[in-house]
Amino acid sequence: MTTIDIKSAERPAPDEILLAIADYAASYEISSDLAYETAYYCLMDTLACGFMALKYPACTKLLGPVVPGATMVQGARVPGTSYELDPVMGAFNIGAMVRWLDFNDTWLAAEWGHPSDNLGAVLALGDYLSRKAHNEGTRPLTVRDLLTAMIKAHEIQGVLALDNSFNRVGLDHVLLVRVASTAVATRMLGGDRDTIVNAVSNAWIDGGALRTYRHAPNTGSRKSWAAGDATSRAVRHALVAMTGEMGYPSALTAKTWGFYDVLFKGRPFTLQRPFGSYVMENVLFKISFPAEFHAQTAVECALALHPEVQGRIDRIAKIAIETQEPGVRIIDKTGPLANPADRDHCIQYMSAIPLLYGRLTAEDYEDAVARDPQVDILRSRMAVTENTSFTKDYYDPAKRTIGNAIQVFFDDGTATRRVAVEVPIGHRLRRAEGIPLLVEKFTRAVAAHFDARQADAIQTRFADRARLEATPVNDLLAQLVRNA
């Protein structure tokens, strides 16, 4: 860690973390076909999440230019819409869409988050740069380039999250989206190592959003657009850095004024492993349920128990839910739930719906379903406790499972079996089972949003990975536009 006299104006060398991020973003060569294959599926999955979100007015009211009419000819197109925006606002739109339903990929460690949130910056900037190149007669970026940027953004965000818990100091994980997207966006713009250092230093100096909007009693829809905000801020930092604007070499380590002292209780970050392609290779896909990931296996348990409790709901005396420590800390909620954002971060709610109905969809977080009195009756009979074995395996780098167990007890003294699921379907250990379902998720989302001819063309494009990777990004985005 850099140490200097606080009264000295001597400029220090850049912090080691800044250099590690910049070196990786600028020059690391991705050689893992598994990473590229997973990124290909990640692109499909992330777009599917965005298309599905476009049916919700709470999301679409935030899309388009921030000032009415402030569009940009030959700018960044927003998939599934007719918007053409500057890449900063394009990143916000895409980032908000893909995160809206809490259905895109996840990374769980000391910090958690959703690495595909970075696709807001990557896709918006990729389209803008590719259209510009096409108009200037130079080589546009291809989808292969896009996948490379995705792998690197996933890696920066995910490796920083392995040992460094921002939530424990009250900061939201979207600050890692801002940092990762800033590094990758600056490189996409042609920035060298020094320019990336400058840009990323400014991203850290932004500090971090508070987690207020993710927790009771303030849970709200900002948690669905916070990543869009972060990834758009990243594109802005990248563009500013490309003008030659200066950076701040000890943004993290400066005594009193740096990130560590101000926001991280004086502790330096640690990197559990060097940057490579580990995160993309091991990312968790949300395939079956739009639900906070710590509850994914709880929903599987509840679905398995639905046939055993169906017809006996009014006889339930207690429901025991065992989860990991983060699940207790983040999504164990009692009392009234104010809105869909509150409900999709409540393990009791996410378990009650499949117990009652044998399903959990995005619509089940809306008021029409939530007002069923049986939902809150079941929630009031749930006891959530930590299973220390689940917690241990959650933090084990070799496992990274996300276990939950549920058992239902009736008023006559009988009980269901105890159902435990430790590995969710989107986990690397269930990848072979999950990928066909991921493709189905994409196919359904495309078919529901586009007319039959366009949907078929999009699905044909994505069915051939080699052809897709060779496609210029601007050509792909042209295919994903839906005219108003």
Q: What per-residue confidence (pLDDT) applies to 156?
A: 98
Q: How long is the chain?
A: 484
Torsions phi, psi for 328 (to 5 deg): -65, -45
Q: Token pair for residue 325?
A: 């420590």
Look at residue 400 in the predicted model and tell me its pLDDT: 86
Residue 194 in tokens: 């020094």
In this prediction, residue 232 has a pLDDT band, given cuts at 50, 70 and 90, of very high
Q: CB within 8 A of 158, min separation 6: which ones?
A: 107, 109, 113, 115, 278, 279, 283
Q: What is the pLDDT of residue 5?
A: 53
* Contact between 183 and 275 (Cβ < 8 Å): no
For 99-120, write each residue's pLDDT tens digit. Answer: 999 999 999 889 999 999 999 9
- Nearest Cα residue to 437 out of 114, 80, 48, 33: 48
- 8 A C-beta contact, residue 446 and residue 51: yes
**With 80 as the cut, is the pLDDT of residue 7 above it?**
no
Does the pLDDT at position 287 exceed 60? yes
288 band by pLDDT with thresholds 50, 70 and 90: confident
What does the pLDDT read at residue 278? 96
Answer whether residue 2 shows pLDDT above 70: no
At position 384, the amino acid (one-letter code) is V
Q: What DSSP line would sit under 167-220, residue for residue?
A: GGGTB-THHHHHHHHHHHHHHHTT--HHHHHHHHHHHHHT---BGGGGSTTS--
Residues 6+ apart with CB under 8 A from 404: 295, 296, 297, 298, 300, 301, 321, 322, 323, 324, 327, 347, 390, 420, 421
Percent of the chain with pLDDT over 70: 98
Q: Which two tokens stand for residue 403?
A: 């276990």
Per-residue model confidence as pLDDT tens digits over 349-389: 999 999 999 999 999 999 999 999 999 999 999 999 999 99
Distance of CA 298 to the CA centre of its chain: 20
CA dihedral 364, 111, 43, 484 (to 10 degrees): 50
pLDDT at 69: 93
E strands, 276-425, in order: 316-323, 382-386, 404-410, 419-421
Geometric angle at alpha carbon 392, from 390 and 395, rounded to 5°: 105
Helix (H, G, I), strand (E, B) or coil at 382: strand
Give the sign of the dihedral formed by CA 312, CA 317, CA 323, CA 329.
positive
433, 439, 441, 442: CA torsion to nearest 10: 160
Least confident of 8-12, 53-57, 166-170: 8-12
Question: How many CB atoms neighbour CB 412 within 10 A?
Answer: 9
Instruction: Note whether 190 and 242 are within 8 A (CB).
Output: yes
DSSP reduced 3-state for 317: strand
Give residue-wise pLDDT tens across range 442-481.
Answer: 999 999 999 999 999 999 999 999 999 999 999 999 999 9
Nearest to 200 by CA among 238, 143, 148: 238
pLDDT at 216: 85
DSSP 90-132: HHHHHHHHHHTTS-S-BEESSSEE-GGGGHHHHHHHHHHHHHH
pLDDT tens digits, one per residue of 236-252: 999 999 999 999 999 99
